[in-house]
Amino acid sequence: MDMDFEKLYNTYYMQVYSYLITLTKCQDTAEEITQNAFFKAMTTEKKYRSSSSEFTWLCAIAKNLFLDDVKKKKRRSHVELEESHTGESDKSGIEHALADEDSAFRIHQVLHALEEPYKEIFQLRVFGELSFQKIGLLFEKSENWARVTYHRARLKIQEKMEETL
């Protein structure tokens, strides 16, 4: 089916843009994704098949682009967060304490008494040097679940270490 993309754009631009405003809560992002949605509609090999309205088709493209944008921003913020914690001065007290034998032994004692899954998550991350994504895959959970569980484990270890001092 040959489509008049100029007519499609003029007819549905404001509706798709308004839909994206409700998703993004940001005019600039909504405008960018709207433009990308129309561009993708014009250039994609999967053409409109009349199984739904043109508006629904365009909103589906826009929603998928929005979700891709959210994932990209989330990945970027995780990478920035991890990069900010790679500096020597930014390491947590636990990682520094592992270098000291006495402290390391106390941490291992605390870790030995730690309940699951915190114990295994912490060990996989610190000793196994696995990424949060891989830990999540091992437990058949999300990357975010692994990240949160690891940080909770760190807090539990720090609390127990403070109790033993």
- Domain range summary for the chain, segments of one domain joined by +: 5-84, 88-164
Q: What is the pLDDT of residue 32?
A: 92
Question: Which CATH class for the 88-164 domain?
Answer: mainly alpha
CA distance 23 to 67: 10
State pLDDT tens for residues 132-151: 888 888 888 888 888 888 88
**Angle between helical axes of 54-84 and 27-43 (0-180°, round to 10):** 120
Contact 68, 37 (CB under 8 A): no
State pLDDT tens for residues 14-38: 999 998 988 888 888 999 999 999 9
CATH among 3.50.50, 1.10.10, 2.160.20, 1.10.1740 for 5-84: 1.10.1740
pLDDT tens for the chain, 165 residues long, are: 456 788 888 999 999 999 898 888 888 899 999 999 999 888 875 666 666 788 888 988 999 999 988 888 877 766 665 555 554 444 455 555 555 566 667 777 888 888 888 888 888 887 777 888 888 888 888 888 888 888 888 888 888 877 766
3 state DSSP class of 153: helix
Closest-CA residue to 16 (of 46, 77, 50, 57): 57
Q: What is the pLDDT of residue 33?
A: 93
Closest-CA residue to 39 (of 16, 71, 73): 16
